Amino acid sequence: DAGVIQSPRHEVTEMGQEVTLRCKPISGHDYLFWYRQTMMRGLELLIYFNNNVPIDDSGMPEDRFSAKMPNASFSTLKIQPSEPRDSAVYFCASRVAGAGAHNEQFFGPGTRLTVL
Amino acid sequence: GQNIDQPTEMTATEGAIVQINCTYQTSGFNGLFWYQQHAGEAPTFLSYNVLDGLEEKGRFSSFLSRSKGYSYLLLKELQMKDSASYLCAVPGGATNKLIFGTGTLLAVQP
């Protein structure tokens, strides 16, 4: 089975441009998570979805960030306009429903974003 | 709320044993996870503990004490490839989130 798929793997853009990151979760997984990782702040949860519905977006830094999940197999994270401080690795993760060990999340390879 | 503490960095020698500690505070406990993350790669699952005691899995073992809010990851017979960041994580109560510590960067030296 394919794991979580993310694209692009690397993105270099200029300040002010729109950036769209894409994620395909593992088939059958009910939850999808978007994280941002930097050296300074570690792994931060931005938003998560359950059955395509956004549940908690309290980690989204500001209105420049938005996320959608139009169906069970696709999600996007958009930054508009991008700023240099948005430079980070963005991970998507998914998991099945349930508690306990079901909380295990499976991570995609990440998108390394550089905003110049 | 939730809070997780781990040492920032550790260094150990190839072939030795190293213990990476994690202390946590959480409202409602539902298990503790350890993830491994090599530089430039995604975090990958190592272990899950929900009951007190030691869970052994090959060269890696994980220990939990719920009363003390404490866990450790024990790595035996260290290999160079074990150089990575080790992340401790707990579910965020009933919110279905995983709360991650900042990770411990382990450097294995020859």
Question: Quick one: pLDDT at residue B72?
Answer: 98
Question: Quick one: pLDDT at residue B93?
Answer: 63
Q: Which of A42, A100, A108 sits opposite B31 (nearest CB)?
A: A100
Question: Quick one: pLDDT at residue B94?
Answer: 61
Pick the more confident residue, B105 or B1. B105
Confidence of residue B3 (pLDDT cuts 50, 70, 90): confident
Q: Which of B45, B95, B100 sits opposite A56 (nearest CB)?
A: B95
Confidence of residue B29 (pLDDT cuts 50, 70, 90): confident
Spatial separation of the C-alpha atoms in residues A32 and A50, rounded to whole Å = 7
> Which amino acid does the sequence have at B20?
I
Is residue B1's pLDDT more than 70? no
Determine phi and psi for A102, rounding to 5 degrees: -70, -10
Contact A101 B42 (CB under 8 A): no
Question: Tokens 């998108």 appear where?
Answer: A111
> Which amino acid does the sequence have at A36?
R
Q: Which of A50, A56, A101 sits opposite B31 (nearest CB)?
A: A101
Tell me which residue of A43, A58, A29, A30 sits closest to A90, measured CA to CA: A43
Best probe of the A interface among B86, B96, B100, by most A CBs < 10 A, is B96
Contacting A with CB below 8 Å, chain B residues are 30-31, 33, 41-45, 48, 50, 87, 91, 95-98, 100-103
Pick the more confident residue, B14 or B97. B14
The chain A residue lying nearest B31, using CA atoms, is: A100
Question: Tokens 């306990």 appear where?
Answer: A100
Question: Quick one: pLDDT at residue B95?
Answer: 64
The chain A residue lying nearest B41, using CA atoms, is: A109
List, for residues A85-103, the tens digit of each pLDDT value. 999 999 999 999 887 777 7
The chain B residue lying nearest A59, using CA atoms, is: B97
- Average pLDDT rounded to a whole number, residues B16-25: 96
**For chain A, which residues score pLDDT lower than 50?**
none
Query: Chain-wide mean pLDDT for chain B?
Result: 93
Name B37's bridge partners.
Answer: B85
List, for residues B44-92, the tens digit of each pLDDT value. 999 999 999 999 999 999 999 999 999 999 999 999 999 999 999 998 7
Contact B42 A55 (CB under 8 A): no
Contact B30 A99 (CB under 8 A): yes
Is residue B38's pLDDT more than 90? yes
For chain A, the residue count is 116
Contact B101 A42 (CB under 8 A): yes
Name A51's bridge partners.
Answer: none
Note whether A35 and A88 are within 8 A (CB): no
